Structures are given as structure tokens and as C-alpha cells.
Structure 1
């Protein structure tokens, strides 16, 4: 079981949304935190809101252009070895396949897939040497099924599942744990910050997002899942679609084709 109290936890995408909520709750539970994102002012705001800001460090990072080994050295310079990595940073998409440029697909894959893989590869040797560690990956319900306007986003999230399931099968004997989290609609700015087919900002709050689960409630469920070493965790009412797909895939496919996903 992974008790986060006293652990050193590195959270990417920590300046807002699920990442911010995870940081605030982990701080209240006694964790030492390294928070990363591009926006330094927002990271400092989150740090100041934590229960014990002295046990929270800010490490600005652009995960589309970074050296994972150097980033790890910087992260571990604050409180020592990283015991829990939360790969939360990412970007969503709101565009049709026919309207989406290959540069946009590459941008999504770079941030949503290659960046967490690079960080994980940087951390794994140290975790193996210490005999344990926990990697938490914020995927999506879309990581289990593709929906309209998310071709690149769904591809990146599906890729995460393949990579981390294989990593778990390779490394479990050495004490490494991997938790894949699949949230549904969570009330964050993810749709506002999503990119369109030409790489521009979507800049709108989706109705589903606006009515989604509160980020703090989502964070509580994630940390509870990490605490019991869940390998895969579904959060939000949309998780019902994952279960339904197992037993009635044709029905779910028909519903997704007609679903309003904005």
C-alpha cells in the first residue's frame, strides 16, 4: 500500500485543475511536493495555498522541450529522491480528423505521451535501486474508447495504457507500482485549453466539463486509489461507459457515434 504521508511526490501539470487539487490534498496529508508546469506565477499560487508551503517546491518545466534527466536532478535537489511521480500534464483536442494537421497530432503526442514516458524512464533506475516507487498516470475515459473530436488525444491516451501496462509487467517484482487513472468529465479548464485542428486554442468551456465532477473530489478518489495500489482507476459517472463497452461494444459504439462530446 502507498501512504503518501511523508512521501516526496512530483506532480506535473500542477498549476491548475486535477494537478492543483492533487497537490493541495497531498500537502494536507503531509507529503513533500515538487510542482511542475510552465506558469511560474500559478505554481507559486498553488504552493502558497498548500498546508505547509515550506515542504512544497516549484520547478517550472516545459514538457514539450526538456531534458528529463536534468529535470529529475533538479526535482530531487529539493527533498531527495522522488518516491511518487504523478504524470498529470497534458493537452486535450477539439477537432475533426479531416481538420487536424499532422503538426497538431505530433504536439499532442509529445506532451501527452512522450513527456510522461521520458520522465518515467528517468526515474525508473533510481526507483529500482531503492526497491520501490509509484508512478501515477492521468489518462482518461478516452484512453479506453475513442470519441469524436479527440482522435489525437484518444491515440495518446491509448498509447499510455499500452506502455504502462507493459512497464508494470516488467517491473512489479522490483517493487515499482503503476496506477493508470481514467477520469471522465472533471470541472477544470481542460476544454478551454484544448487545441483545435490548426493548433489554436479552443477557448470554450464544454457543457460536459462544466457539469463534471469537482476537481477536489476527483483528487480524493485518485489518492484513495493510489493508497490501495490500484492498477487502473475510473473516476466520474462516465466510467459506466467503460463497463458497458465490455458487455455491449456495438451498443456503446452506436451511442458514441451520436454522442455530444463538447
Structure 2
């Protein structure tokens, strides 16, 4: 009897330890945490691989270029601003053993869908293959729906959703011919939950999740092709600065503090772990946001209650000209 009590006490104690550790230190879902510890390592899997990154001129895409360069991946870097891509390429060469021929700059606008097939041909002609496509390019949005022009919703869907699937199509055709490859899409926590002030952005990320989750079973006869969705929470990047507001001609001017957000370096590291271990979906965020993923997934009624509780304060902060989440930190 005493032994049984001791065993149960040990089990309960261990579960409490895991719960406390999750609440205080976790920055990725349970599967991702396990794979970071015991799974495949990016350094062992990505050396020499050809990786095409969109949105590579800033934020997550820029940091991903640096980490992959250090690993030894060969890179195709795309964004609208060619001068910024040159800057990123220069730093990649400075911090790695790559040579100039290992990095190709491919200027790309996701809204110019007629150019996506030729851009893909450029990368294939240069490297001969594409092992990994990282769909990272896109824009944010920060405004109240009642104030927002429909043109903003049209623009964000053209960039985040239609632009992404347009580029994916020719790349995926190539991967199907080779019977291998990885399509990695940087979605968002807002691809699986809702939030005020980001209705257009949230809709575009939900669309991406729906598309790629539906595409995945179409590829079951190609087991070496992986479709991977990455869902980061708040990350230190330029997404807020570049976000749409209620009008296409108006810039967002309230940026808020970045210190409370996950570092871009950590987000990219966990993304690469997800990539090499072929996770279909990865949740990446510091607390308390990570807990919200689980609430939304497993107890949606509680999640809606919490959202209704916090939403009005976020809107009040936004209208006052301060960061929407300022009061929660």
C-alpha cells in the first residue's frame, strides 16, 4: 500500500513539475520541445541544401538566412528590396564559409504572380534544384474592422495568401518531379486563433493554414515531400512597422516595445528544428501566449471568454495611441 502511494505521489509530482516548467520556461509545443532535445539537428540535415527564402530582407527571413548560412546551406533570397537583399547576402558571407556563388538574390514581389514561374526557373537554373521553400514573405495589419477599407483586405489577401500559393505551385511541381522537398510556411498564432485589430491578417493566415493542411493529403504518394506550417506568436521583427492600417495610404505609427516578444533568433532556431523533423504544425511562442494556443485548441469556450475579457482593453489601448498589449505586461 505504501509503495502504491509513493508511486502515485511520484507520478503526480512529476506531472506538476512538467506543468510548472511549461508555464515558466516553455517556448514551443510539447512535440517541438521533445524534438529539440532528442530529434534531428539542423546542422546535420541542412548542410549543402538549397533553401529559397521569401521575405528575406528583414525579420524572420533575414535571421533564417544568417542561421542557414552558418550551417552551410545554399541560399536563394527573395524580397522586393534588392538593396536590402544585398545587405543580407553580404552579412551571410561575412559570418559563414559560403562563397559568393552559394547565394543567389532573386528580387520578388508576391503580388506580381505572373513573375513567380520565371523566378522559380531562375533559381532552378542556378542551383539545379530547390530542397526547401520557406514561404515567409507577407504583411501585417492593425486596425478596427469598422474603420478599415475593403481595399486593405483585398491587398493583404493578395500578398499573404494568393501570393504564397502562387509561388508554391511551380516550386511544388519541381519537388513532385524529384519526389522530394519541403514546403515551409510561416503562418502565425493568428492562423489558428482570433484576436481584435488584426481581422485581415488573421483571415489571411487562416486561409494559408486551410490551404496547406488540405494540400498535404494530396501529396501522400510522395512521402519525401513535407508540408510544414510554423505558427509563431509575437516575435521581434518589423511586421508591425510594415503593417497595413485602415487605409492603404496610411502608415502604422504605434509600434510598442519589442522586449516582451520572443527573439527572432530563437524563433528561427525552433523553426529549423521543426523543418528537419518534418513537423506538420509547430507552435512557437513565449508564455503567456503559448498557453493560449492550448486553450484555443482544447478549451475554446475558455479561450473565447478570455478573448472577450482582454479584447476591449486592447482596443482601448489602440485608440489611445499605445501598444495594444501594453497593459498586460
TM-score by length of 1: 0.95
**Are 1:145 and 2:145 counterparts?**
no
1:62 aligned to 109, 113, 121, which one? 109
**Are 1:97 and 2:145 counterparts?**
yes
Superposition RMSD on alpha carbons, in Å? 1.5
C-alpha distance in structure 1 between counterparts of 2:123 and 2:291, whole Å: 37
C-alpha distance in structure 2 between counterparts of 1:206 and 1:244, whole Å: 26
Equivalent position of 2:256 in the other structure: 206
**Are 1:25 and 2:67 counterparts?**
yes
| Gapped regions of structure 2 (runs ≥ 5) | 1-39, 315-323
C-alpha distance in structure 1 between counterparts of 2:255 and 2:305, whole Å: 26
1:234 aligned to 283, 289, 305, which one? 283
**Which is worse superposed, 124-133 or 75-84?**
75-84
Equivalent position of 2:90 in the other structure: 48
Q: Is the 1:193–1:203 Cα contact (8 Å) retained in structure 2?
A: no
1:130 aligned to 178, 181, 184, which one? 178
C-alpha distance in structure 1 between counterparts of 2:210 and 2:64, whole Å: 24
SS of equivalent to 2:247: coil
Structure label with greater radius of gyration: 2
2:154 aligned to 86, 90, 106, which one? 106
1:77 aligned to 122, 125, 133, which one? 125
Equivalent position of 2:271 in the other structure: 222
- Structure showing the higher helix proportion among its residues: 2
Note the 1:140-179 alignment, pairs <5 A.
140-174=188-222, 175-179=224-228
Give the deviation of 1:53 after TM superposition.
4.7
Equivalent position of 1:118 in the other structure: 166
C-alpha distance in structure 1 between counterparts of 2:99 and 2:207, whole Å: 35
Give the deviation of 1:254 after TM superposition.
2.1
SS of equivalent to 2:77: strand
C-alpha distance in structure 1 between counterparts of 2:265 and 2:79, whole Å: 19
C-alpha distance in structure 1 between counterparts of 2:236 and 2:148, whole Å: 26
Equivalent position of 2:9 in the other structure: none
SS of equivalent to 1:173: coil
Runs of 4+ in 1 over 4 A off after TM superposition: none
SS of equivalent to 1:73: helix
Equivalent position of 2:303 in the other structure: 252
Give the deviation of 1:210 after TM superposition.
4.2
TM-score by length of 2: 0.76
C-alpha distance in structure 1 between counterparts of 2:209 and 2:238, whole Å: 24
SS of equivalent to 1:159: helix
SS of equivalent to 1:185: coil
C-alpha distance in structure 1 between counterparts of 2:225 and 2:251, whole Å: 37
Note the 1:186-197 alignment, pairs <5 A.
186-197=235-246
